[in-house]
Amino acid sequence: MELTRDRVIGALTGIEVPGGGTLISRDLIRALAVEGTTVRFVIETATPEEARAFAAVRQAAEVAVGALAGVTAVQAVLTAHGPAPKAPAPTLKIGGHPTPQEGGPQKISGIDRIIAVASGKGGVGKSTVSSNLAVALARQGRRVGLLDADIHGPSQARMMGVSKRPASPDGKTIEPLRAHGVTVMSMGLMLKEDEAVIWRGPMLMGALQQLLNQVAWGPLDILIVDLPPGTGDVQLTLSQRTRLTGALVVSTPQDVALLDARKALDMFAKLKVPVLGLIENMSTFICPNCGHESQIFGHGGVAAEAARLDLPFLGELPLALEVRVAGDAGTPVAAGDGPNAQAYARLARRLIDGGMA
């Protein structure tokens, strides 16, 4: 009778293995070869521990196959095919010198409009305005992204209620997070909460370039960029490398804030970035106990400045405990209802109706 693979498999079918089944039913035979009167095969187990328990199985298999007519030699090898070693996870490094770019400011693929939110000084609520405006725009049907470009003092992760570190499947592309209908990316998501970023200008510029161009933003109607206060490296890099739709300048009403807001306006004029409008934040305060309205920082200064410069005045936003509490809790007040949410809804509607968002 001719010696064939089927006859060998038939002999191995009767060899039971630890854990139940047979060598064939468990699909443990590999590299079966019939060469004249010699039969070779491999018994492949899952782990080295299991292979040691199969020593008697190998001997039984050799005896069963050796008993077939026409077989003069049997070579059975026992191996363990453990799980493949995991490839090291891609590492993503943020920062470093920016790569050269020619041809002036560039558009970011898939993003229709990019609006920078700026202030001449810190403490005027620019980041609060950015997060709430992003949420308000999303609630009105816009596809919105929010980039926290304040590399040294990122706050949007806390304000938007996200903390998971963004994934990077290839060590280059960054997958942003989603919160309240907004696609969010912040340097704060790449660091421990209390870790400081101690970088000079070139590192800041490189990080901003990565956050703009290596993040998988997807298709967006508008990307809100929350800038750091002042007129430094980040503002300059963003304006020179990215085609901006324009900028919004946030200020409180008092003169000392307006002095610095004018510097921000002058910066955008020199960089040829259109100023889409001015926003007066912390315009009024209504006592939650008695309902009395106070103008703690004055009132109307930003509107007057906008009129003087012939720039759009986009509205007044209140100073309210609810806004601060909501931001600290990670749910911007614009995500809810009530007078404070409506103030941001009106601001978003003005931008949409004006073709800016």
The whole-number pLDDT of residue 275 equals 97
55-64 per-position pLDDT tens digit: 999 999 999 9
Return the pLDDT at 350.
95
Token pair 């040829």 in the structure block, residue: 272
List domains and CATH numbers for the chain. 5-80 (3.30.300.130), 111-353 (3.40.50.300)
Q: What is the pLDDT of residues 283-309, one digit of tens each?
A: 888 777 777 778 888 788 899 999 999
pLDDT of residue 107: 92
Q: Which residues of the chain have pLDDT under 70?
A: 1, 82-91
